A = this chain, B = another copy of it.
Amino acid sequence: MTQTPAHPPGFALPDDALPGLAAELVGEHLRRDAAEPMRPHRSPDELLATLPIAIDGGALPWSEAFALLQQVLAATPSTTSRRFFNQLFGGRDGVAILGELGAVLANSPMHTFKASGVQVLVERAVLRRMGELAGMPDGDGMIAPGGSLSNFAAMILARNHALPESRERGLPGARAVIYASAAAHYSVAKAAGLAGLGRGAVRSVPADAAGRMRAECLGPMIDEDRATGGVPVMIVATAGTTVQGAFDPLPAIADVAERTGVWLHVDAAYGGSVLVSPRHRGLLEGCGRADSLTWDAHKLLTVPLTCSALLTRRPGLCAQAFDEPASYLFQDDALLDPGRGSLQCARHNDALKLWLAWKHHGDDGMAARIDRLFTLAAHLAARVESHPGLRLCRPPASINVCFEVLGTSSRELCRALWERNVAQIGHAVVDGREVVRWVLVDPAHTTEEIDAVLDELLAVARGLASGA
């Protein structure tokens, strides 16, 4: 790649070339996903040796910069192809991608109505619809950049509720306690560290073998802490645990929250999307009794990263917790300015892509997508269960299928699947044993495709067993 002299401002890529390049980029990505669903596995050293990653000061004509972008994308693991089962998101929705491209082009900062206009109304429509489905039709909410920060924001609301002077005067040194099951997401402990409560404030509520909080343990723990001078700040129930996809028993937990007056947050980052399905939303029964709820649409609803909502049962809470005076910014339509109730100041508009996808699929289409994931998970679980060389941990609670290949290390197997360009699948620990954790998050998958990947997995496992 040769270097050209620095060019003056304005020399940049001519406007009329941009649409064609965008089309080429999209087309090439789709072709690559079809032809090469696993990009060749390469180590960091190999990548650094073959691609000019360092920013070395030189300039490239736009055509060469574009070629470099294509090279880098060709070397990037695909999370949108049919071989990605490694995380709690995957697949691709063309309409959502167009919505996201629209958000990139508009570049609306989402803090004021003046600069963002109708995009503010789009975001509100998304939050309203999510709130209705979550049983929080009168609350408000905000879009945060990911589920970890939605959970953090919820913890701030809970902290300010339990310790009302904490926002202005800081924490008084009280022994705060947060209750979450042992299978809760790591962002709960992280948020406690950020919010000044301390990671040690998180008390682990026992979970059953399936990963569900044992609600009967919760009440006594709260009573005990109160009796010994602790300040219960928050209960975090999980709707869709990371490893097993389990749902905590929300009605029983809400009973405890109501009796004790402790803030109930539902971390439905993973499972919230099940609310769009009449067939499966019972898994979240009772969530409308919570004070707040995190829901990541970028997981099961197949929109690009990220699209996370924090919803609240009561209105006005986000502005109470996050508003700051800023007369240079919030001035003309301040009540409409979402920046007053957001963790961020200027931010990318994460809502437009989901809004457009929902307009396109409709409620029934959204439901069908979720139902499809459950069908795929049940199919894989049945395949695993009927295979004598495999051990299914338990029937899947939702769309995570955890199993072992007898006689094979799950860790080694998953690494081999990755390095041999078969598939990205993760491993985890269930019942004290390392297992394959295969997540079904792409409604476009067919059962035949799942079968084919399982067969390849078995072949790799046989190879490992025979030392190949």
Residues on B with beta carbons closer than 8 Å to the beta carbon of A147: 345-346
Q: Is A51 an interface residue (CB 8 A)?
A: yes
Knowing A26-B18, A42-B117, say if A7 contacts B95 (CB, 8 Å). no
- Cβ-defined partner of A15 (8 Å) among B24, B30, B159: B30
Known: A7-B361, A104-B304, A148-B345. A62 touches B94 (CB 8 A): yes
* A18 close to B98 (CB less than 8 A): yes
Interface check A260, CB cutoff 8 A: no
User: Are A117 and B39 touching (Cβ within 8 A)?
Assistant: yes
Chain A, interface size category, equals 35 or more
Which chain B residues border A168 with CB–CB below 8 Å? 193, 198-200
Kindly state whether residue A334 has any CB partner on chain B within 8 Å. no
Q: Which of A183-191, A213-221, A251-259, A377-385 is found at the contact surface with chain B? A: A183-191
| A196 close to B (CB within 8 Å) | yes
Whether B108 contacts A79 by the Cβ 8 Å rule is yes
Is B115 within 8 A of A186, CB to CB?
no
A212 within 8 A of B: no
Of the candidate stretches A391-399, A420-428, A459-467, the one touching chain B is A420-428
Write out the residue numbers on chain B whose beta carbons fall within 8 Å of the beta carbon of A102.
25, 69, 72-73
Asked if A108 and B58 sit within 8 Å, CB to CB, the answer is: no
- Docked pose: A98 CA to B104 CA in angstroms: 10
| Chain B: CB-nearest residue to A296 | B346
The answer to whether A238 has its CB under 8 Å from any CB of chain B is no
Does the CB pair A359–B108 fall under 8 Å?
no
* B360 and A12 contacting across the interface, CB-CB below 8 Å: yes
Binary flags per residue of A299-328, CB closer than 8 Å to B gives 1, else 0: 000001110000000000000011011111
**A452 close to B (CB within 8 Å):** no
List the one stretch of A134-142, A171-179, A284-292 in contact with chain B. A171-179
Chain B residues, CB < 8 A from A120: 44
Closest to A172 in B: B173
Among the listed B22, B118, B321, which residue makes an inter-chain contact with A101, where contact means beta carbons less than 8 Å apart? Answer: B22
B residues within 8 A CB of A167?
Answer: 193, 198-199
A161 within 8 A of B: no
* A225 part of interface (Cβ distance < 8 Å): no
0 or 1 for each of A257-281: is its CB under 8 Å from B? (1 = yes): 0000000000000000000000000
A50 to chain B, nearest CB (A): 10
Q: A121-B44, A362-B3 are in contact. Are A76 and B116 (CB under 8 A)?
A: yes
Let me know if A443 is at the binding interface, CB within 8 A: yes
Q: A348–B62 contact, CB under 8 A?
A: no
What is the CA–CA distance of A3 and B173 in the complex, to the nearest angstrom?
57
Residue interface mask A334-359, B partner, CB < 8 A = 1: 00100000011111100010011011
Q: Nearest chain-B residue to A132 (Cβ)?
A: B55
Cβ-defined partner of A198 (8 Å) among B86, B105, B169, B355: B169
**How far is the CB of A467 from the nearest CB of chain B, in Å?**
21
Q: Does A406 contact B (CB under 8 A)?
A: no
- Residues of chain B contacted by A44 (CB below 8 angstroms): 113, 120-121, 333, 336
Q: Which residue of chain B has the shortest Cβ distance to A186 in the bound complex? A: B324
* A181 interface hit (Cβ, 8 Å): no
Known: A62-B95, A107-B304. Is A368-B9 also a contact (CB below 8 A)? Answer: yes
Cα–Cα, bound, A149→B348 (Å): 13
| Selected contact of A6 from candidates B368, B415, B428, CB within 8 Å | B368
Whole-angstrom CA separation of A221 from B75 in the bound complex: 53
- Please, could you name 14 A-B residue pairs with CB atoms under 8 Å apart, sorted by A? A5-B364, A6-B365, A7-B365, A13-B98, A26-B105, A47-B118, A55-B126, A66-B98, A68-B359, A86-B114, A170-B173, A186-B326, A187-B345, A304-B348
Nearest 8 A/B pairs, CB to CB: A196-B196, A59-B362, A173-B173, A6-B364, A170-B198, A145-B145, A13-B94, A23-B23
